[in-house]
């Protein structure tokens, strides 16, 4: 590694988009140390074994109140209080009608998809400020969803959480712009990952879901995690120094369509 190390923290690092992002950053750059946050200690240990000292595992459950402060404390111990990029990639999904959505379910959805990213960003602001230089900025990338832009029946709690995450992105962007911290969000369509199966879909249901998804995305297919990781990498790069507060669709055109 070069002497000028860049530190990037990625939540949801042990699966899906988060894991793909970790792999891409570590394969593409030799001057990046990735701090990976995940619930699975086994998977974190496997990533550490693969990447050595360039991957710093942080075991945490972001559904727990106060997890943001704990993660920030662990991160600062590794980076000495300097963080160049934050990817809020952890998230959950589940379906259910409005009538069937309990307060407990809604609160859990908001905790993981909204409150944890807010709290973690807040707690890491000193480290993000410390990473700035005259010719560079600190960067935050929030992983939202097409469901933050468009409503879907029987998915209200998830849609609400992602719409709020989009607005959080804009609020943080305008507030932190004078401090040279860029905050943007990515809004993927259906991406092949474990997300929906962890949300309660069986393998058969998930296969049917992906088949339908190929038809509901105008470009004719669903996405893959590597495509999203490449966009995250771009938003973290020094090439993006004048973009903030954006919600960027990467969904094969799905956000352009009406319900059908």
What kind and span of H or E run contains 87? strand 85-88
φ, ψ dihedrals at 57, nearest 5°: -80, 140
The CA-based angle 91-93-98, given to 5 degrees, is: 135
Torsion-angle region of 162 (φ positive above 0: left; ψ -120 to 50: alpha; else: beta): alpha
Cβ of 257: how many Cβ atoms within 10 Å? 14
Structure tokens at 121: 């960003």
Structure tokens at 117: 């990213």
Torsion angle in degrees (nearest 10) through CA of 60, 223, 101, 62 = 10
**Cα 28–chain centre separation:** 19
Return the active site residues: 158
**Nearest CA-CA partner of 180 in 98, 238, 226:** 238
Distance CA 196, CA 260 (A): 21
């Amino acid at each position: 590694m070069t002497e000028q190390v860049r530190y990037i923290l990625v939540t949801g690092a042990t699966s899906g988009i988060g894991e793909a992002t970790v792999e891409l950053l570590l394969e593409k750059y030799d001057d990046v140390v990735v701090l990976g946050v995940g619930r699975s200690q086994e998977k974190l240990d496997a990533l550490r074994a693969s990447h050595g000292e360039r991957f710093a595992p942080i075991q945490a459950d972001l559904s727990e109140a106060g997890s943001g402060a704990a993660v920030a404390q662990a991160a600062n111990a590794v980076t000495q209080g300097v963080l160049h990029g934050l990817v809020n990639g952890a998230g959950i999904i589940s379906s259910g009608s409005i009538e069937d959505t309990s307060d407990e379910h809604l609160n859990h959805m908001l905790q993981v998809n909204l409150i944890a990213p807010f709290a973690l960003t807040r707690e890491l602001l000193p480290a993000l400020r410390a990473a700035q230089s005259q010719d560079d900025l600190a960067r935050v990338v929030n992983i939202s969803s097409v469901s933050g832009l468009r409503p879907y029946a029987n998915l209200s709690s998830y849609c609400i959480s992602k719409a709020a995450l989009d607005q959080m992105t804009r609020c943080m962007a305008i507030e932190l712009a004078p401090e040279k911290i860029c905050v943007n969000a990515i809004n993927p369509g259906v991406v092949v990952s474990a997300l929906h199966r962890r949300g309660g879909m069986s393998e058969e249901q998930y296969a049917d879901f992906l088949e339908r998804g190929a038809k509901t995305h105008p470009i004719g297919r669903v996405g893959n995690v590597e495509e999203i990781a490449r966009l995250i990498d771009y938003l973290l790069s020094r090439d993006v120094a004048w973009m903030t507060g954006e919600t960027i669709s990467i969904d094969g055109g799905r956000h352009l369509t009406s319900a059908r």
